[in-house]
Amino acid sequence: KNEVEQSPQNLTAQEGEFITINCSYSVGISALHWLQQHPGGGIVSLFMLSSGKKKHGRLIATINIQEKHSSLHITASHPRDSAVYICAVRSKSGGSNYKLTFGKGTLLTVNP
């Protein structure tokens, strides 16, 4: 079982819809990252969070440390939001807390 599980694997939405992507993990973490990868493109860091909630424009990320769960929300989705969204966690264990463990990603397609 992967230490980081994302759902759904694939998501298709209509422009304007509210999107939620979920991430569950099984290890103690010091931080969780949400990353975005456009087709054929590089990876961009969207959020790094260790508690609570962060908001950038139409994107909101939340994390519940007790439940080992994070969500990425996109409000008023747009076709340019189409990308793979990747959840990654940074282990809390002292010796290797620089390492990230990645989920397999959620492919989001937003149709006009």
Partner 1 sequence: GAGVSQSPSNKVTEKGKDVELRCDPISGHTALYWYRQSLGQGLEFLIYFQGNSAPDKSGLPSDRFSAERTGGSVSTLTIQRTQQEDSAVYLCASSLQGTTGELFFGEGSRLTVL
Do the strands 29-37 and 69-74 form a parallel or antiparallel pair, or are they unpaired? Answer: unpaired
Q: 75 or 97: whose CB is closer to partner 1?
A: 97
**What is the per-residue DSSP string for 64-94?**
ETTTTEEEEEESS--GGG-EEEEEEEEE--G
105 lies in the binding site for partner 1 (CB under 8 A): yes
Residue with tokens 């149709």: 111
Residues in CB range of 41: below 8 A, 6 or more apart? none
Q: How many residues bind partner 1 (CB under 8 A)?
A: 23
* Residue 88 interacts with partner 1 (CB under 8 A): yes or no: yes
Instruction: List the interface residues with partner 1, window 38-77 (CB under 8 A).
Output: 41-45, 48
C-alpha 61 chain-centroid distance: 8
The SS3 assignment for 95 reads helix
99 binds partner 1 (CB under 8 A): yes
Does residue number 102 form part of the binding site for partner 1 (CB under 8 A)?
yes
Residue 100 CB, shortest distance to partner 1, in Å, is: 7
The reply to whether 11 sits near partner 1 by the rule CB under 8 A is no
Site stretch for partner 1 (CB under 8 A), options 20-28, 36-44, 52-60, 63-71: 36-44
